[in-house]
Amino acid sequence: MKKLVFLIISCFLMFSCVQKAYKQAVIYTIEIPDSEGVTSVGIRGNDKPLNWDQDMELKKINNKGFYQVKVTYLTGYKFTEVKFTRNGEYELQNMPNRRIEFNPSGVTQYKAVFNQPLK
């Protein structure tokens, strides 16, 4: 009987420690001022579906050098970190990643200029 009670309490404690995950959508828009010669624009990051090994492609949305992608995360965190790429090369080399704080509504708009940190 003691073992059964111990097992039930252990299971309860294990499952109650799991952090609840929420869907967080982020619409990333980046401006590339000198977009001549750009063959690809991507984003990489900490949290799935992004990773640091492979770009998720951003689509060109106008002729002024703006690119955009919508990324949906399933996470318990309140932020994520990313960097953009141009032709496979990282921006902001030797600088911190971009930190994106999720909007509590579940949809975050993030706008940036390539290779220029937010102030």
Amino acid of residue 53: D
Coil, helix or strand at residue 68: strand
- With vertex at residue 30, the alpha carbon angle to CA 42 and CA 101, rounded to the nearest 5 degrees, is 90
pLDDT tens across 37-56, in order? 999 999 999 999 999 999 99
3-state helix, strand, coil in the chain (%, to 5): 15, 45, 45
What mean pLDDT comes out for the span 63-71?
97
Of the chain, the percentage scoring pLDDT greater than 70 comes to 84
**Is 27 a residue whose pLDDT tops 90?**
yes
Homologous superfamily in CATH for domain 20-113 = Immunoglobulins (2.60.40.10)
8 A C-beta contact, residue 71 and residue 56: yes
Q: How many CB atoms within 10 Å of residue 60?
A: 14
